[in-house]
Amino acid sequence: MTRDIIEQYEQEFSSLFQAKRAFAFWKGRVALYAILKAMGIGQRDEVILPGYTCVMNVNPIKYLGAKPVYVDIEPNTFNINPKLLPEKITNRTKVIIAQHTYGYVCDMDAVMEIAGQKQVPVIEDCCLSLGSKYKGQLAGTFGEAAYFSFQWNKPYTTGLGGMAVINAEELAERIETLVEKQACEPGFQEVMMLWVQLCIYRAFVYPRTTALAQSLFRYLTKKGVIVGSSAASEFKPTMADDFLKKTSNMQAGSGLKALKKLDNIIAHRKVMADLYDRLLSEKGWPTRQYDRSVMQPVMVRYPVRIKQKDKALSKAAKAGKELGSWFECPLHPIETPLQTYDYTVGMCPEAEKAAREVVNLPLHSRVSEKTAWQIVDFITAFTASN
């Protein structure tokens, strides 16, 4: 008997975390939606998350009629500042989303202790932290549930893709029912388009061509030729009918292949991040600030603060240097109507400062030692001359 490829992918992913169950979805945000919905989140409930995130992470909360409540970040790790957490918890708080930003794990001792005292469940946003550990324990194994993304920029990519990893038996059963009753199947055409994109990506996207490829992808998405990671309808808090979508065999197959290479993917990211530490410190720049005896991060990108971020980004794009900008504002991207998402400017000062200052350096499998030192040369020279 042949085992369903999606089921196999879910089981292999789940066993990485020794979780109860894993459920694969079309995107990471869909996994979050499924978890929140299965937890019964609805009108008037409050969901806590950092004010340094992507709007696509806030949509599922809004779709359910709940209110996002933002907590400011801690400036070194860009993660929720646990000191500010207790004052945000009310009797309406139903969930805390602990987002492990760039690969740095949240201060989980503090987060879990506060959540435990207040009896609020924790969902871990592991979209940027596959393989990261806190006190030797994998991110994704602390809360009731965790979710992952396999979009283009994530630890590994299946084009688009997401996974919900569930550590609580009852919640797993509720998600299973939700998927059976309400989730739709991806369409043949969108899967084909995604597959074509994945082939193009594998063949052509290298650090030098990334900026070009991104603008081409954005253009083709607007023209409806390819499936972008975010449709125009996703920039407002109204859910599309086919939002709750399962994954495809194509994505699951691609994910299973990536899992076989996961140790190498993680090792490469660690080596390159250490290399950036060394190269930057040789230039007298600050490097990553985190407690090495507590956290073993697997970074998705390497964040650096610079002055004149916008100018640096446009110069880098012209020079063919892959400099990224997450997050452009507290609810990335810069076009997000903050008020619609219950964010008021000034709510999270550290997050707003980080959004003005932080660029990030690539760590993916195409980044070689040479690209790393070229990028470090670029940003240090840029800063010296500006």
What residues line the site for ligand PLP (CB under 6 A)? 27-29, 53-54, 56-57, 99, 125, 127-128, 149, 151, 162, 229
- The answer to whether 163 and 148 are in contact (CB under 8 A) is yes
Could you tell me the smallest distance in angstroms from the CB atom of residue 184 to ligand PLP?
16
Tokens encoding 198 = 């994945």
Could you tell me the smallest distance in angstroms from the CB atom of residue 140 to ligand PLP?
13
Number of helical (H) and strand (E) elements in the chain, helices listed first: 12, 14
For residue 367, give every residue at least 6 positions away whose Cβ sits within 8 Å of its Cβ, in sequence order, or none. Answer: 207, 272, 322
| C-beta nearest to ligand PLP: residue | 28
Beta carbon nearer to ligand PLP, 55 or 272: 55
What is the helix, strand, coil percentage profile of the chain, to 5? 45, 15, 40
**Which one, of 351, 372, 364, 371, lies nearest residue 150 by Cα?**
364
Could you tell me the smallest distance in angstroms from the CB atom of residue 54 to ligand PLP?
5
Beta carbon nearer to ligand PLP, 100 or 174: 100
Beta carbon nearer to ligand PLP, 29 or 94: 29
**Which one, of 323, 336, 361, lies nearest residue 51 by Cα?**
336
Could you tell me the smallest distance in angstroms from the CB atom of residue 148 to ligand PLP?
8
Phi, psi of 200 (to 5 degrees): -60, -45
Burial (0-12, 13-18, 19+ Cβ within 10 Å), 180: exposed
Alpha-carbon distance values, 162 to 111, 149, 251, 327 (Å): 24, 4, 10, 20
Beta carbon nearer to ligand PLP, 149 or 325: 149
Query: Which helix (DSSP H) or strand (DSSP E) does residue 305 occupy?
Result: strand 301-305
Beta carbon nearer to ligand PLP, 32 or 275: 32
DSSP code per residue over 249-303: HHHHHHHHHHHHTHHHHHHHHHHHHHHHHHHHHHTT-----S-TTTEE---SEEE
Could you tell me the smallest distance in angstroms from the CB atom of residue 324 to ligand PLP?
11
- The answer to whether 158 and 254 are in contact (CB under 8 A) is yes
Beta carbon nearer to ligand PLP, 32 or 172: 32
Beta carbon nearer to ligand PLP, 159 or 207: 159
Could you tell me the smallest distance in angstroms from the CB atom of residue 283 to ligand PLP?
28
- The answer to whether 106 and 99 are in contact (CB under 8 A) is yes
Tokens encoding 113 = 């202790």
Could you tell me the smallest distance in angstroms from the CB atom of residue 162 to ligand PLP?
5
Could you tell me the smallest distance in angstroms from the CB atom of residue 149 to ligand PLP?
3
Beta carbon nearer to ligand PLP, 149 or 371: 149
Could you tell me the smallest distance in angstroms from the CB atom of residue 251 to ligand PLP?
11
Beta carbon nearer to ligand PLP, 38 or 227: 227
Cα 351–chain centre separation: 16
Could you tell me the smallest distance in angstroms from the CB atom of residue 303 to ligand PLP?
13
Tokens encoding 226 = 């390819």
Beta carbon nearer to ligand PLP, 82 or 162: 162
3-class SS of residue 328: coil
